[in-house]
Amino acid sequence: MTDNELIWRIAGGSGDGIDSTSQNFAKALMRSGLHVFTHRHYPSRIRGGHTYVEVRAKDEDVQSRGDGYNFLLALGDSFARNPQDEAYYGKEELKPLYENFDDLREGGVLLYDEGLLDEEDIEEIELEEAAAENGWHVVPMDLRGIAKEHGREIMRNTAGIGATAAILDIGTEEFEKLIEQNMAGDMQEANLAVLEDAYEAASELDVDHDIEVPEGSHDQEQVLLSGSNAISYGALDEGCRFISGYPMTPWTDVFTIMSQHLPEFGGISEQVEDEIAAASLALGASHMGVKAMSGSSGGGFALMSEPLGLAEMTETPVVLVEAMRAGPSTGMPTKPEQADLEHVLYTSQGDSARVVFAPANISECYTQTRAAFRIAYEYQIPAIVIYDQKIQGELRNLPASHFDEEPNADAGSVLTEDEIQDAAHHASGKFQRFLHEPEDGSNVSPRSVPGQKDGRYLATGNEHNPSGHISEDPDNRIAQMERRLNKLDDIRADLDENTSHQTYYGPENAENGVLVWGSQQDTVFEAVDRLNDNGHSVKALGVSDMAPYPVDEVSEWLESVDQALVVEMNATAQFRGLTQKEIGKYGDKMSSLLKYNGNPFEPAEIVDGFESSINGEDLAATNMTYLPTAGD
């Protein structure tokens, strides 16, 4: 546990405005000078079902969810189907209260809406006993009553904010400004009145607690956004003006953001009949010279397998994003997992030739989506950005200047009509689109685009000769395969010349290491700080380049540590398997800490997992699994 931080959890039913309220809360704290980070937990339902969001706020950079939380605003589920009856899944109306007991820290504040949750029920869940045991400060307030007095019941969430502000003594100024910005007319007035009334009412209660909300300030302007925002903005700044998709959680977020902005950016968004079509449309647009993308989550991405292979074979550039959720099959639609790595790396028939980046946080979502477009179009290859439900929805503040970058709409290795006139043509008149040995000595044979004079060629998923005609000649086959696959070596060299996508953390000469990929990286970093504070000697490496794999970088790092704990959110240690396959050694150094219960790691869990692995202790009592080194 870290001191001097607020971790505020708002819990209610889906439809109670938990998401938007938490966003406003986070934004207000950011504007007041704090660093913020949110963690979302929600069910696969439209209305009803326990959902919560945590907002963690500190006066220094926050890179992860925390361990548990210290303030609960429990609204109760106003959309519960069976508020009075004991249902198969338990009493739904109360879930946003009692299901949160486990993680509320000792001495925490528990504010609940007694307007919705009645006394008898509260007795039944033994709140009083739990509070006494943990030293919680329980604050029942009739938030519903306050909301209804000025407006509608849904404004319970605004009342909750007002009461929170009073109890934590953080003032309501920033919240008022947000209400004024986001709402108009009666809505605005009612919400302001609810906020004020709840603030007054809670002030009178004079709640005694130990939570101190820190004060902070930013030295430059901050923005609050999600991984989905950052991926979308990276695509737009890289000149992507075409997206095609089919809704699927959690990928839908990127699709939605792109669809909202593409028209004003002069682009096109297409929602189509299925993901086979979605990927195929992106290829069609790219074939015409447009920078295009598609994406999905696991199940939808499975349907994209064949178009993905077609992109590899026809060397049609495209960017696909894959937002992982817990599998297999439909799995747990709204829960994060990192179990689609092998799926994304290897799906589609034949030897794969693709680029896969796994950004670890919101900042990397922007830069690596941009890199994916640049590489895809320059090297005529599909590039995939793989992320998960955690990064997709979490909000984090960043300096606005991070996005102050020039756009790049360069469509890569496409010839102009003048260049086509000078380029190689076959005796039949066809443009030589797929030269065995491109003229500049690289492995990329520049393309033409339909409509350009004398640029005609055939793109085909069959093996083909330089002008694109179907060919099963063995020498041609080898030449084309080698050229397509050699592009990956060129891309690795290109990436190595630029700022590394891998992130190094902790003391360089540390004894042991934690190896991590994707969304768990920054949580690991927080854990590494604590481990070093606890007297361990630990550093971490976060890997983003899944393909082509950064063999040199990771080898060098593994060489430098005695033992490496590989942390990932899946059951079969997919990233560790990839690392072993790519590097071919260090199997005796790498053990795994795995979690696949639908919730991301908390920093304290990684600390425990690391210490247990060092001491050979059992993790059976936790939500985690330990997988020893190869051969053990």
Partner 1 sequence: MSAFSAIEEDREIERDEFTPGIEPQATWCPGCGDFGVLKALKQAMPEVGRNPDEVALFTGIGCSGKLNSYFESYGFHTIHGRSLPVARAAKLANPEIEVIAAGGDGDGYGIGGNHTIHTARENHDMTYIVFNNEIFGLTKGQTSPTSPKGHKSKTQPHGSAKSPIRPLSQQLNAGATYVARTAAVNPNQAKEIIAEAIEHDGFAHIDFLTQCPTWNKDAKHYVPYTDVQQSDEFEFDVTDRAEAAEMMRKTEERLYEGEVLTGRMYVDDSRPSYGQEKRSIGEMPEEPLAERYFDEDAEWERTYDNLLQHHK
Per CB under 8 A, contacts with partner 1 among 414-433 are: 414, 416-417, 426-430
Residue 69 C-beta: closest distance to partner 1, Å: 24
Q: What does the alpha-carbon distance between residue 90 and residue 58 come to, in Å, rounded to a whole number?
A: 35
Using CB under 8 A as the binding rule, whether residue 454 contacts partner 1 is answered as yes
Q: What does the alpha-carbon distance between residue 372 and residue 319 come to, in Å, rounded to a whole number?
A: 7
Using CB under 8 A as the binding rule, whether residue 321 contacts partner 1 is answered as no
> Nearest-5° angle of CA 563, CA 552, CA 384?
100
Using CB under 8 A as the binding rule, whether residue 153 contacts partner 1 is answered as no
Phi, psi of 2 (to 5 degrees): -105, 150
> Nearest-5° angle of CA 413, CA 419, CA 425?
95
Q: What is the CA radius of gyration of the chain?
A: 27
Residue 220 C-beta: closest distance to partner 1, Å: 12
Give exposure, 458-490, as e/b (b: 16+ Cβ within 10 Å). Answer: bbeeeebbbbbbebeeeebeebbeebbeebbeb
Ranges of H-type helices in 12-64: 18-31
Residue 556 C-beta: closest distance to partner 1, Å: 36
> Nearest-5° angle of CA 297, CA 359, CA 17?
60
Segment contacting partner 1 (CB under 8 A): 45-53, 138-146, 200-208, 277-285?
A: 277-285
Name the pairing type of β-strands 564-568 and 512-517: parallel
Segment contacting partner 1 (CB under 8 A): 50-58, 138-146, 229-237, 474-482?
A: 229-237
* Block residue for tokens 């790691």: 601
User: Which amino acid is residue 264, in one-letter code?
Assistant: E
Using CB under 8 A as the binding rule, whether residue 269 contacts partner 1 is answered as yes
Using CB under 8 A as the binding rule, whether residue 281 contacts partner 1 is answered as yes
Residue 388: C-alpha distances to residues 41, 227, 606 (Å): 13, 9, 19
Using CB under 8 A as the binding rule, whether residue 450 contacts partner 1 is answered as yes
Using CB under 8 A as the binding rule, whether residue 280 contacts partner 1 is answered as yes
Task: Tell which one of 53, 194, 201, 310 touches partner 1 (CB under 8 A).
Answer: 310
HSE value, Cβ hemisphere, 13 Å, CA-based, for 167: 30
Q: What does the alpha-carbon distance between residue 523 and residue 390 come to, in Å, rounded to a whole number?
A: 12
**39 and 226 in contact (C-beta within 8 Å)?**
no
Using CB under 8 A as the binding rule, whether residue 461 contacts partner 1 is answered as yes
Using CB under 8 A as the binding rule, whether residue 246 contacts partner 1 is answered as no
Q: For partner 1, which is the closer residue by CB, 39 or 430?
A: 430
Residue 461 C-beta: closest distance to partner 1, Å: 5
Task: Tell which one of 1, 470, 478, 493 touches partner 1 (CB under 8 A).
Answer: 470
Using CB under 8 A as the binding rule, whether residue 263 contacts partner 1 is answered as yes
**396 and 336 in contact (C-beta within 8 Å)?**
no
**404 and 266 in contact (C-beta within 8 Å)?**
no
Task: Tell which one of 452, 519, 520, 591 touches partner 1 (CB under 8 A).
Answer: 452
Using CB under 8 A as the binding rule, whether residue 451 contacts partner 1 is answered as yes
Residue 289 C-beta: closest distance to partner 1, Å: 5
Q: What does the alpha-carbon distance between residue 195 and residue 164 come to, in Å, rounded to a whole number?
A: 10
Q: For partner 1, which is the closer residue by CB, 414 or 564?
A: 414
What residues numbered 381-420 form the site for partner 1, per CB under 8 A? 400, 403-407, 409, 411, 414, 416-417
Residue 29 C-beta: closest distance to partner 1, Å: 14
Task: Tell which one of 131, 458, 479, 614 touches partner 1 (CB under 8 A).
Answer: 458
Residue 226 C-beta: closest distance to partner 1, Å: 9
Q: For partner 1, which is the closer residue by CB, 317 or 506?
A: 317
Using CB under 8 A as the binding rule, whether residue 338 contacts partner 1 is answered as no
Q: What does the alpha-carbon distance between residue 486 and residue 323 come to, in Å, rounded to a whole number?
A: 28
Q: For partner 1, which is the closer residue by CB, 357 or 431?
A: 431
Segment contacting partner 1 (CB under 8 A): 64-72, 170-178, 465-473, 553-561?
A: 465-473
Q: What does the alpha-carbon distance between residue 83 and residue 20 come to, in Å, rounded to a whole number?
A: 24
Total number of residues binding partner 1 (CB under 8 A)? 78
Residue 180 C-beta: closest distance to partner 1, Å: 15
Q: For partner 1, which is the closer residue by CB, 278 or 565?
A: 278
Task: Tell which one of 53, 211, 283, 624 touches partner 1 (CB under 8 A).
Answer: 283
**255 and 282 in contact (C-beta within 8 Å)?**
no
Q: For partner 1, which is the closer residue by CB, 280 or 443?
A: 280
Task: Tell which one of 144, 287, 354, 484 touches partner 1 (CB under 8 A).
Answer: 287
Q: What does the alpha-carbon distance between residue 15 and residue 77 come to, in Å, rounded to a whole number?
A: 9
Using CB under 8 A as the binding rule, whether residue 258 contacts partner 1 is answered as no
Residue 18 C-beta: closest distance to partner 1, Å: 20
**255 and 247 in contact (C-beta within 8 Å)?**
yes
Residue 406 C-beta: closest distance to partner 1, Å: 8
What residues numbered 482-541 form the site for partner 1, per CB under 8 A? none
Q: For partner 1, which is the closer residue by CB, 470 or 478?
A: 470
Using CB under 8 A as the binding rule, whether residue 222 contacts partner 1 is answered as yes
Name the pairing type of β-strands 242-245 and 222-226: unpaired
Using CB under 8 A as the binding rule, whether residue 456 contacts partner 1 is answered as yes
Q: How many CB atoms lie within 10 A of CB 585?
A: 10
Asked if residue 140 has a cis previous peptide bond (ω within 30° of 0), the answer is: no
Q: For partner 1, which is the closer residue by CB, 263 or 507?
A: 263
Residue 35 C-beta: closest distance to partner 1, Å: 15
Using CB under 8 A as the binding rule, whether residue 273 contacts partner 1 is answered as yes
- Give the 3-state secondary structure of residue 475: helix
Q: Which two tokens stand for residue 429?
A: 């008149």
**538 and 513 in contact (C-beta within 8 Å)?**
yes
Q: What does the alpha-carbon distance between residue 518 and residue 432 come to, in Å, rounded to a whole number?
A: 40
Q: For partner 1, which is the closer residue by CB, 148 or 426?
A: 426
Q: Which two tokens stand for residue 337?
A: 């997992």
Q: For partner 1, which is the closer residue by CB, 35 or 595?
A: 35
Residue 192 C-beta: closest distance to partner 1, Å: 21
Q: What does the alpha-carbon distance between residue 58 and residue 35 come to, in Å, rounded to a whole number?
A: 5
Segment contacting partner 1 (CB under 8 A): 154-162, 187-195, 282-290, 479-487?
A: 282-290
Segment contacting partner 1 (CB under 8 A): 303-311, 351-359, 476-484, 513-521?
A: 303-311
Q: What does the alpha-carbon distance between residue 87 and residue 98 come to, in Å, rounded to a whole number?
A: 15
Using CB under 8 A as the binding rule, whether residue 274 contacts partner 1 is answered as yes
Among candidate residues 305, 286, 303, the one with its CA nearest the CA of residue 248: 303
